[in-house]
Chain A
Amino acid sequence: MKQAMSSRTTQGGEAGSGLPKAPAAGRLARRRGPFSRLSGAHKQQLAGWLFLTPAIAYVLFAFATPIVYNIALSFERDSLSTIGSIGAPWAGLSNYTTMFHDQIATSAIVHTLLFTVGSLAGQFIIGLSLALLFSNRFPGRTVARSLVIVPWLVPLIVTGVIFRFMFQQEGGAANQVLMDIGLIHSPIDWLGTTSYALLTVTLANIWLGVPFFTLLLYSALQEVPEEVKEAAMIDGANSWQRLRLVTIPMILPVIEITFILGFVFTVKVFDLVIGMTGGGPANATQLISTWSYTLGFQEFNFGEAAALNNVLLVAALVCAPLYLLLSRDQLRRSSGVGR
């Protein structure tokens, strides 16, 4: 990955060639068209801005406005009648104090944490195992690798429905298998028992996230030079030692970015839980996202929903500095990007 980037640095990008390019471009530009009086450099500036305008407008509309509005909402006393207009009664910090005294909200924060940590651990272990498996050459490898992607393509609400079906107490596949092999004697109510429900939802989320981890880690493993592994083998390292001391340190940057991206999209999972449990039983699988939805769109308590949303936003942004740091190649104009 890194190698590919640095090799591109030399050929790609104007930045590498330094400033004095602009006047030359100006001389070569044809003197006609609506912007003919502009010099080449200015013309390019203008064109660049025009190309960028739709994106800037969209980001302002779909990201900046909602985030600012969400902050405003969290300090207001809003109802369905005032949500569309600015200037609802000021509520100070009351939405936040209500939220932190709301037992469902605080437990939703804990559930989100458990759900995220459990999901990432499971996805990483299974994903790395599969990635290592696919690094071997064996018959059917290409087909197997492409089929593993499938769970990622399933709409999340459908995943929720499938797992709700597979983990239903009567006639669910999970209980059937466990009973057939004699691990349990009576069916477990996976989604109806508060102690099992969160675990079951986490299992479903592990399933859908494995393709992402597998593919990213697999492509990182492809970059580990054969010689390095062979050298370790000659030095007498067994396969576990090779993995732990050679392979993992070499793919560590990719592992980091995979975890960060995995965190970002696990912390906001919504559809899956709505489809599987709707947050129940007795709010045992209520996550920040699902509870915020219930508060806002079912109880029309938009203020507290916005306060909870801001907690989620802060949680998601916790990893932002690390994410930006790992993506610094994208931010630095002069170096190549792409992976």
Chain B
Amino acid sequence: MSRHHRKTAVRWLSTLVAFVAVALMLFPIYAIVVASFESTVTIFSTHFHFFPYHPTLANYKTVVLGTQSGPAASVTTNGNQLGHVLTSLEIALATALLTLVISVPAAYALAKYRMRVTVVFIGALLLAQIVPSIVLATSLFAVLLKVGMVNTLPGVILADCTYAVPFGILVLRAFLFALPNEVMHSARVDGASEWQTFRMIVLPLARSAIVTVAVFAFLAGWGDFIFALTTLNGASFEPITLGIYSFLGNYQANWGAVMAAGVVALVPAAVLLVIAQRYIATGLTAGAVKG
């Protein structure tokens, strides 16, 4: 075989191996999507169906209209997962927003102002990334209880930001640090105040890093389960992650509904993967710590 032919063969072999690897990685997603259209009876039958068997929309009806009774239905005001989706959206958006409000100015200060506290604070943030969520959950529950914020949206949002704030500040600071100082300097020479420089010069320049952090914070808020579980243990609303858990917790788990709710919970991730893939990849390689 000539050298050229060998190279071509290696290429196509790589494609084949990559295809198999990707298929294996995506198979669990495929499995839940197929199962979400099957009845609980089919899901529990002795045979696993690789292809749609008796597709039905019943599970999605249960999830959207809330025809199923059980903890999930009794806990939610409107008794359906649509309410869960809205709650999740609110939590995710608010988490993203609050994360940005806290981290963008802080990252700017840490990157561009000469302050003694910088090293200490960055060290603290690096350590904060390490702290396990369950450690925070137990005592945040106590803290939130003390300030009367258990079972409130702001409470769970404040808790959810623990995923994204340290990450956000560190990523944004790295980005802002690389901005040449001349940009800010010339704004100041032109008479801009510190705040104006920040708002009109720095923010637009940092757009891509800001989007990365926002996407990451949104996904963290959307996917959060542990803080929802611990801080919303008697609330009149619950996010979709908690809704899935409630479906599971029934004496007879409604597997069909669990699957459909799981698929619904995948939607934002899928959408973001399509429209913001670049930012997701950046966030992941920037040392994202999840969970």
Contacts and interface: CB of A to CB of B under 8 A. Distances in A.
A62 B165 contact: yes
B3 interface: no
Interface stretch (A10-18, A89-97, A194-202, A244-252): A10-18
Interface residues of B, number: 122
B19 A165 contact: no
Interface string A32-59: 0100000000011101111110111011
Interface in B218-269: 219, 222-223, 225-226, 229-230, 233, 241, 244-245, 248, 255, 258-259, 262, 265-266, 269
A258 to B, nearest CB: 9
Interface in A71-108: 73, 83-85
A258 B188 CA distance: 40
Given A56-B121, A316-B132, A45 B115 contact: yes
B14 interface: yes
A154 B130 contact: no
Given A58-B165, A296-B138, A147 B22 contact: yes
A297 B230 contact: yes
A312 B269 contact: no
A285 to B, nearest CB: 15
A151 interface: yes
Given A161-B248, A289-B134, A149 B28 contact: no
Contact of A55 (B126, B136, B169): B169
A6 interface: no
Given A14-B114, A165-B259, A166-B28, A219 B119 contact: no
A336 B180 CA distance: 11
B11 A139 contact: yes
Given A130-B21, A133-B14, A268 B134 contact: yes
Contacts of A17: 181
B142 interface: yes
B145 A13 contact: no
Nearest to A173: B48
Say what secondary structure dominates the interface of chain A: helix
Tier of interface size on chain A: 35 or more
Nearest to B242: A157
A14 B181 contact: yes
A245 B233 CA distance: 54
Given A52-B110, A61-B158, A136-B11, A171 B46 contact: yes
A267 B177 CA distance: 32
A48 B112 CA distance: 8
Interface string B103-134: 10110111111110111011111111111111
B126 to A, nearest CB: 6
Nearest to A69: B139
Contact of B130 (A215, A319, A336): A319
A94 B33 CA distance: 49
Interface in A131-182: 133-134, 136-141, 144, 146-159, 161-163, 165-166, 168, 170-173, 175-176
Interface string B178-205: 1111000100110101110010000000
A336 B178 contact: yes
B29 A150 contact: yes
Interface string A262-305: 00110111110011000000000000110011001100001001
Contacts, number: 365
A317 B127 contact: yes
B138 A162 contact: no
Nearest to B43: A171
A63 B48 contact: no
A275 B248 contact: yes
B135 A312 contact: yes
Contact of A54 (B29, B101, B262): B101
Contact of A83 (B111, B133, B141, B223): B141
A120 interface: no
Contact of A155 (B102, B140, B241): B241
Contacts of A28: 188-189
B129 A264 contact: yes
A44 to B, nearest CB: 6
A338 interface: yes
Contacts of A310: 135
Given A165-B31, A166-B31, 18 more contacts: A33-B193, A48-B114, A48-B115, A61-B143, A62-B165, A67-B139, A69-B139, A130-B21, A134-B18, A155-B266, A165-B32, A207-B25, A271-B291, A274-B245, A293-B229, A302-B138, A310-B135, A331-B126
29 contacts: A12-B181, A44-B113, A47-B109, A51-B105, A51-B198, A54-B102, A55-B165, A59-B124, A66-B138, A69-B143, A141-B15, A144-B19, A144-B21, A149-B281, A150-B25, A151-B25, A153-B269, A153-B272, A154-B266, A158-B223, A161-B262, A166-B28, A176-B50, A288-B134, A292-B138, A293-B230, A330-B174, A333-B119, A336-B178
Q: Which 8 A-B pairs have the closest CB atoms?
A: A48-B113, A268-B132, A55-B106, A155-B223, A47-B194, A338-B174, A153-B269, A176-B48
Interface of A: 8, 11-15, 17, 25, 28-30, 33, 43-45, 47-52, 54-56, 58-59, 61-63, 65-67, 69-70, 73, 83-85, 130, 133-134, 136-141, 144, 146-159, 161-163, 165-166, 168, 170-173, 175-176, 207, 210-212, 215-216, 219, 257, 261, 264-265, 267-271, 274-275, 288-289, 292-293, 296-297, 302, 305-306, 309-310, 312-313, 316-317, 319-320, 323-324, 327, 330-333, 336-339
